[in-house]
Structure 1
Amino acid sequence: MCGADGLRMLPGTATPEARMTPDEYAELDATALAALLRKGELSADEVHDAATTALDAVGPRLGAVVGERFAAPLEHAADGPFAGVPFAIKDLIVHAAGVPQGAGTRLLGDGIPMPADTHLMTRFRRAGLATLARTATPELGFNATTEPVATGPVRNPWDTSRSPGGSSGGSAALVAARALPVAHANDGGGSIRIPAAACGLVGLKPSQGRTSPGPDYADPLLGMGVEFVVTRTVRDAAGLLDAVHGHEPGDRYLLPDPPRPYADEVGTGSRRLRVAVCTTPFSGAGSVDPRCTEATEATARVLEGLGHEVTRAAPELDAAAFDDANLVAWTSFLADGVDVLAAALGVEPGPDVLEAATLACAEHGRALRAADLYAADRVFNATRRAVAAFHQRFDLVLTPTMNVPNTPLGYLDQDDPSRDARGWYDHIFSTAGFTALSNVTGNPAISLPLGRTEEGWPVGVQVMAPYGDESTLLALAADLERAMPWDRHRPAGGSAT
C-alpha cells in the first residue's frame, strides 16, 4: 500500500499484532523508514528489531560486522530528519565516544575505545541515525577489497566468492544485503565508489570539505580523504548530505551552501548538460572489462535520449606523474599512521601486527623526503587545474567506476610479501583506474549501479562534477535512477530477506 507521498505504508505495524516483517523492512530506504517513523506508522522498537534480526542473519555469511553488534543503538536525536533509521559506522576515521576503533589492523588488537565523537559522528547522531554496529575495513583502508587478516574477509552478497570492494566493503555489503538502509563510508581513492559499484549501490563522494574531517584531521591523506555514506537510493544520498554537510570551527575549507536543499534536486531533475564520456582509465593503469565499458556507453545513450549533449572527451593528464604523486601521498600517510599508532602503543611495527603490503608501503613512506611531498603537490596542483579547465567545457564526466565489475576474494591480497610499495599500488589501481582523480581534485563524484553482467552482478558507472557542485550531480543521478531503475535487481544468496 502506498501513501500520497509515494512511500510504502504499513498500517498497524506499530502494534504488537502486526510487526514489520523482514521483507517489509528490506523494501524501505532510509527516507521511507524515517517518514513512517515520523508519522507513527512504525515504532522505533520494531525497526530496531527488524534491523538487528537482519544484521544477525547476514553476519555469519558476509563477515561485515566488526565485533559484536551493539545491544542498543548509540544515543541519537529523536527529532532528527532520519530519527530511528538503522545505521553503522565504518571502523576507520569516524568514531564515536566510548566505541573501539580497530582500523582493520592487528596493530590495534580488538580496537582502542575512542574518547570522543568526531564532528561527523556528532552530525550523524543529530540527524537521528541509530548506530548499531561497526563495519569492516581493510588494514588502514589501503585496499580496494575488504579482507583484513585482523577480522577476516567480507563477502559480496551478490556472489559470496567475490569481493564487496573496499575500503568501505563492510558497510556496502550490509546495505546491499538490505540489513541496513545506509552506512558510513569514506573515500581516499575510491573507497565509497568502488564498493558501491561492486555491491550495486549509490556511492557519493562529496567535494573536499563538504563534510568535516575534524577534529582529528585537517586534510586526511593530503586532502584526498572524504567522509560520507553508501545508500541504495539517490534520494537517501541527497537527504543525508543535507543532514550532515557543513563547516565546523577550525575546518580548513568553507564551501558555500547549495542554492537549495539537495533533496529538492532529486525531484526537480537536471537541466540540459554537456557530458564528456571517457572509458580509458585516468591513471593509465589496467585494461577495462568490456562489460564496464558497455555499461558506460549504454548510460551515455540514455543521457543523449534525455536531451543532454554527449561527447567522447577526457582531460589531458600526465598519467605517470599522477600515479607517482598518488603513491607518495598514500605511502606517506600510511607511514605516519603506522608510526604514530605504534609509538602510542609501544609496539614495534612488524609482520606479527601488520600485513606485508602495509609494511612495504610504510617503509616506502618513511624513506620519502619533504621535497617528494612538495613535488607531489605540484603534480596535484597541475591536475586540479587541468580538470577545472576541462569543466569549463563540460558539466559532467561519465566513466566506468571500476575497470572490472568486481574481483575474486584473495585477488587483492594485502598480506602478499612479493609486492613492494609500487607493486601494491599498481595492483590496486589496475582494478580501479577511474576513481582517484576526483580525490586529487576534490570534485564530487558518484557511482550508480547502471549495468549488469551475465552472472547478474551489478556494474557501476561513475559521474564526476565540478568542485562544489553536488547539486548538478545529484539531479542527474536522480534522472538516471528513474530512466534506468535498479531497485528490483537484488542479491539473493547474501540477502537478509
Structure 2
Amino acid sequence: MALRVHAFTDDALGDHDGVGIAELIRRGELSVAEVAKAAQERAARVNPALNAVVAEADTPLASADRDALLYGVPTFVKDNTDLAGLPTQHGSAAWRARPAKADGPFAKQFLSTGMTVLGKTTLPEFGLNATTEFVAAEPTRNPWDTGFSSGASSGGSAAFVAAGVVPIAHGNDGGGSIRIPAACCGLVGLKPTRGRHIDGPQARSMPINLVSEGVLTRTVRDTATYFAAAERFWRNPALPPVGLVEGPAQRRLRIGVLSEPITGAALDPQIRGVLDDTIALLESLGHEVRPIAYPVDRGFAEDFATYWAMLAFLLGVTGKLTLDRAFDAARLDPFTRGLAARFRGSILRSPGVLYRLSRIGHVYAESFRDVELVVSPVLASLTPRLGYLSPDQPFDEVFDRLLSYVTYTPLANVAGAPALSLPMGASDTGLPIGVMFSAAHGDERTLLELAYALESARPFRRIQR
C-alpha cells in the first residue's frame, strides 16, 4: 500500500517557496528564528519515515547578510560538503569522520546566499549509486511513496524538499545526482555548467571533473534566485552571467529531441508518454521541435562506465591520504568494491577512455549549432522500488540495472554542460516523471526562461494535494 509522507502544515513555512519566505522575512512578517524552528519541527515529524538527515546543526547556521536574496530561508547541505562543526561522512562506513574545522570552498558560496543551514542530508556511498540506500542503515525513502527510491546521489535533499521540510536544499551532480532525484521526487533540478560555481575538493581531484554544485527546489523561481544569489559571491569570468531570471522569454526556440536510450535499453512507455506530452506542450507554445542525432555513440556509455569504476578504484587506494588515516577500504560497501574490481579488469583501457571523454565537450558544443535546447527523458525507466538498486545486491545485477536506468544524464557531466530536470508528469501509480532539457555551455538562462514558461503552462504537481 502506497504511503505518501509530507510535512506541509499551517506554520511559519506554510506553502511558501524560498523566495516567498525571504520576502516575508524582509517585510518583518516572519523571523529567521521562527522559520528555522518550523523547519526543524517538520524534519523531526517526517524524518523517521524518510531517513533523510545525517547530522543536525546544534544551532542553525544563520546568515548575517540581511541583503542576501535568500536571507533566512531554511535549508540542508548534502553530506559530501564540509561545513564547520559538522562531520562529512560521504555516505560511507569506511571510517568515522570528525567535525570539519572550516567551511569548504563551495560551502562559503552556498552560505553567501543567506540561507540558514539546519544540517546535512543523506547520499549513497560517495555518490556512486543512483539510489540513496545503504548496507547497514535504513534507506532514504521517496515521500511520494515510501516504498520507492528517492533517487541519488542528492536523495536526502530531494526527499526533504519534496516533503516540504525546506523549500530548497543543496545537491551536486556528477552523473545525474541532481537531476535523477529531482525526477524521482517531482522537483526542479538544474545541473549548471562546469565551473559555474566554486568547485569542491572532490571535483578538483578528478582526472576529468564531472561534478557541478546546485540545488533542488519546488519552483523555478527558487532555482533562478539561488543562481543569482550565488553569482553575487563569485562569478566565473569565463562564462556568461546568468543574472536574475524572473520569467519566460518571448523568443521561440529550436529544440532537438533525443528519445531512445543510447545504451540500447528500452524506454518505459509511461516515460515516453510524458516526453511526447511535453513535446506537444512545447509546440503549443510556439517552439520548433524535431528529432536530432546523438552527438556520441554507444561507446560513450562504455567509456563513462569505465571512468565511473575508476573513481571507485581511486577512492579505495587514496582514502587514507585524502580522507582519514583510519579509512578502511575493506569496509566500503559491496557496490563500491565491485566498481573498483571492475576497473582493475579494464585498467589498460583507461588512457584511451580519458582521451575520448576529454574530447566530448567539443563534440557536444558542435551539436548546438542548429538548436538552442535539447529535450529528452531524465531516466529510461520508472523510479524503482527500494532494494532494486541496493548496494547489498549482487554487483553485476545492480550494475546492469543502473546502465539501463541512467542512460541520459551522464553526457552533460562529461561535456560540462547545463541540464535541467522538470516534473512534467506522473506514472500510473502517481510517482513523478521528469523530463530533461539540455543547453549549450553557459546557457542556464535559456533553460530557466523555458522552465518558467512550462511551469506557468502546466503547474507542477504538489505532494499535499
Q: So what's the TM-score if we normalise by structure 2? A: 0.92
Partners of 1:212 and 1:247 within 8 A in 2: no
SS at structure 1 position matched to 2:109 = helix
Matches of 2:207 and 2:59, distance apart in 1: 33
Q: Report the counterpart of residue 7 of structure 1 in structure 2.
A: none
Matches of 1:442 and 1:413, distance apart in 2: 28
**Per the alignment, do residues 442 and 54 of structure 1 end up closer, same or farther by CA in structure 2, a change over 3 Å counting?**
same
Matches of 1:40 and 1:434, distance apart in 2: 45
The reply to whether residue 106 of structure 1 matches residue 93 of structure 2 is yes
The reply to whether residue 166 of structure 1 matches residue 166 of structure 2 is no
Matches of 2:153 and 2:199, distance apart in 1: 17
Aligned residues: 455
Q: 5+ residue gaps in structure 2?
A: 1-7
After TM superposition, list the pairs within 5 Å mapping 1:86-485 onto structure 2.
86-92=74-80, 94-109=81-96, 111-214=97-200, 217-218=203-204, 220=206, 222-245=208-231, 254-258=237-241, 261=243, 263-264=244-245, 266-282=246-262, 284-319=263-298, 321-342=299-320, 344-350=324-330, 353-365=331-343, 369=347, 372-416=349-393, 418-420=394-396, 424-485=398-459
CA-to-aligned-CA distance 1:127-178 (integer Å, 9 cap, x gap): 1110001101011111111012254201100001001111111000000000
Corresponding letter in the other structure for 1:103: H
The reply to whether residue 71 of structure 1 matches residue 46 of structure 2 is no
Q: 5+ residue gaps in structure 1?
A: 1-19, 493-497
Q: Report the counterpart of residue 6 of structure 1 in structure 2.
A: none
Matches of 1:216 and 1:377, distance apart in 2: 17
The reply to whether residue 44 of structure 1 matches residue 32 of structure 2 is yes
Matches of 2:418 and 2:459, distance apart in 1: 22
**Per the alignment, do residues 182 and 480 of structure 1 end up closer, same or farther by CA in structure 2, a change over 3 Å counting?**
same
Matches of 1:209 and 1:54, distance apart in 2: 34
Matches of 2:353 and 2:34, distance apart in 1: 52
Partners of 1:275 and 1:310 within 8 A in 2: yes
TM-fit CA distance, 1:216: 5.7
Matches of 2:224 and 2:335, distance apart in 1: 36
CA-to-aligned-CA distance 1:265-303 (integer Å, 9 cap, x gap): x32425110001121113x15211111111111111111
TM-fit CA distance, 1:22: 3.8
SS at structure 1 position matched to 2:146 = coil
Partners of 1:192 and 1:205 within 8 A in 2: yes
Matches of 2:428 and 2:193, distance apart in 1: 34
Corresponding letter in the other structure for 2:239: P
Matches of 1:315 and 1:106, distance apart in 2: 39
Matches of 1:281 and 1:378, distance apart in 2: 24
Matches of 1:356 and 1:161, distance apart in 2: 22
TM-fit CA distance, 1:212: 1.1
**Per the alignment, do residues 383 and 141 of structure 1 end up closer, same or farther by CA in structure 2, a change over 3 Å counting?**
same
TM-fit CA distance, 1:411: 0.3
TM-fit CA distance, 1:84: 1.0
TM-fit CA distance, 1:215: 5.0
Partners of 1:234 and 1:478 within 8 A in 2: yes
Partners of 1:405 and 1:460 within 8 A in 2: no
Matches of 1:115 and 1:53, distance apart in 2: 28
TM-fit CA distance, 1:208: 0.6
CA-to-aligned-CA distance 1:205-260 (integer Å, 9 cap, x gap): 000110111456426462111111111111111110111248969xxx753342x6
Corresponding letter in the other structure for 1:273: L
SS at structure 1 position matched to 2:57 = coil
Matches of 1:225 and 1:158, distance apart in 2: 27
Partners of 2:203 and 2:210 within 8 A in 1: no
Matches of 2:233 and 2:204, distance apart in 1: 12
Same amino acid, percent of matched pairs = 38
Matches of 1:403 and 1:279, distance apart in 2: 9
Matches of 1:163 and 1:90, distance apart in 2: 17
Corresponding letter in the other structure for 1:256: L
The reply to whether residue 84 of structure 1 matches residue 63 of structure 2 is no
**Per the alignment, do residues 147 and 338 of structure 1 end up closer, same or farther by CA in structure 2, a change over 3 Å counting?**
same
Partners of 2:144 and 2:185 within 8 A in 1: yes
**Per the alignment, do residues 461 and 326 of structure 1 end up closer, same or farther by CA in structure 2, a change over 3 Å counting?**
same
Partners of 2:32 and 2:72 within 8 A in 1: yes
**Per the alignment, do residues 491 and 330 of structure 1 end up closer, same or farther by CA in structure 2, a change over 3 Å counting?**
farther
Matches of 1:216 and 1:312, distance apart in 2: 36
Partners of 1:383 and 1:441 within 8 A in 2: yes
CA RMSD of aligned residues (A): 2.2
**Per the alignment, do residues 477 and 220 of structure 1 end up closer, same or farther by CA in structure 2, a change over 3 Å counting?**
farther
Corresponding letter in the other structure for 1:55: A
Q: So what's the TM-score if we normalise by structure 1? A: 0.86
Matches of 2:220 and 2:93, distance apart in 1: 36
Partners of 1:104 and 1:150 within 8 A in 2: no
Matches of 2:251 and 2:211, distance apart in 1: 30
**Per the alignment, do residues 467 and 426 of structure 1 end up closer, same or farther by CA in structure 2, a change over 3 Å counting?**
farther
SS at structure 2 position matched to 1:161 = strand
Matches of 2:91 and 2:202, distance apart in 1: 18
**Per the alignment, do residues 211 and 426 of structure 1 end up closer, same or farther by CA in structure 2, a change over 3 Å counting?**
farther
SS at structure 1 position matched to 2:376 = strand
Tell which deviates more after alignment, 322-331 or 173-182. 322-331
